Amino acid sequence: MDLENPATGEVTGPALGSSPTEVDEALAAADALGAWTAPAGERATVCESIAAAVAAAAPEIVALESRATGVPIRQTTGLGMILGGAFALAAGQLRAGILTSTATREDGREVLVERLPWGPAACLVPWNAPAPMASHKVANALAAGCPAILKPSEYAPYGTERLAEVIDAALRAAGTPPALFQLLHGGAEVGARIVSDPRIRAVSFTGGLGGGRAVAAACAYDIKPVQLELGGNNALIALPDADEDAVARAAADLLTTLNGQWCRALGRLIVPAGREEAIASLVMARINDLRTGDPSDEATDYGPLIHSGHRATVVKARDDLGGTLFESSLTGPGNTLAPALVVGADPARTTGEIFGPVAAVHGYSSIDEAVALANGTRYGLEGYVFGTDEEAALAVAKRVRAGEVKVNGSSIMSLHLFTPRPAWGISGYSEEGTAETLRFFTNPRVVGVENGFALHSRS
């Protein structure tokens, strides 16, 4: 496929791709290494050196991300703190001894529980925020001692390409084995070659449902552990006492962050019956105050979608919902698409993921109906509940079937740095998180001296 400049629609060149020979060479090198057996403290020191190098290169990386994805530079810069931060967090977890523990028996003997690396790991990241997600996965794979093979989406290879150069240079300076970290490029075919190869012992994938199902199926054959963060159709419930301006602000943010192209974006706005059109109008009024333009301009709030093909897919999905379209007046360069809400669509037609700046608005007559609408999808990634009475809002939030539910907030950041980032239903499998992802790349081994008890002892 041809890559595009999202801000102009102009073709910038072909997507990058690794040949089958290069893929096999990478797999063979990782397999020959097997694991990085350096002590945890030494691995932490190396991760800290990578953190410093990546943080220094962050301005260059986030600029490449903005140009490739169309996401405004202010947003990619904000996410840029994850680049070096992921490696620093992984190092901190190692120094805290997260991979080793002991259990003491009644006879006073200790049993050692140590978490050891699975072996070569594949890290596959999507195109909406590839470098931050790559940093999170690769940092934890390396901290665990797993040789890591990174494959970014073919739509946005350049930020991760620069990130990989920085990681590689830091690893070489530290004298680590050359095959500890490798980068491969390409589309689904390259991803399938990597994931299905038995030399890969663990797979961490973030992307769409179709890709996630293919990855899960490939991993099932070899019974290899897989971590899947997939899509979402995320509901925002506005309770009867909710501040409608706060609801409109949150809905506008959820529709336009990363230009609406993120898995935790707004899918369904659920409001008291009779208020659907009024609240939709409030949301559009707030969005209309945003500034469009070149994603590399610090003044730009909302940018173009990544590719003309993806824009066409989002428009078709929007039009297929039916109902009444409430569209913002935003216009902009290249692949810019005006954010929109659809009122009056059949709820059964609004349960999928659009992955763009489009959401449905549904009215409810009771709290039970609101919760049923929120849970009326097979996805279960994120939820949002707004209400003046926090206790009542928390009670509703506890009924929403999603991995994380935020009350009176819609930030792209998690509620807490050290809580897991789980998913329900088809939104994913195997929780992510500061500690959880590091543990994912390992498997426990228990070692100790037997206490001599046997069920059928003859002695």
258 sits in the region (left: phi over 0; alpha: psi -120 to 50; else beta) called left
Pair 129, 262: CB distance under 8 Å: yes
Averaged pLDDT, groups of 10, the chain, 459 residues long: 92 92 98 97 98 98 97 97 98 97 92 97 97 98 98 96 98 96 97 98 97 97 97 98 98 98 97 98 98 97 97 98 97 97 98 98 98 98 98 98 97 93 96 96 96 65
Rounded to two decimals, what is the model's pTM? 0.96
Which is catalytic among the residues 48, 154, 229, 382? 229
Active site residue 229: yes
Q: Check residue 217 and give its pLDDT.
A: 97
C-alpha 346/C-alpha 355 separation (Å) is 19
Cβ density class 327-343: b for 16+ within 10 Å, e for less: ebebebbbbbbbbbbbb
The tokens describing 371, both together, are: 């919760």
Within 10 A of 41 (CB to CB), how many other CB atoms are there? 11
DSSP annotation string for 141-178: HHHHT--EEEEE-TTS-HHHHHHHHHHHHHHHHHT--G
Pairing label, strands 442-447, 110-117: antiparallel
What's the confidence (pLDDT) of residue 451? 82
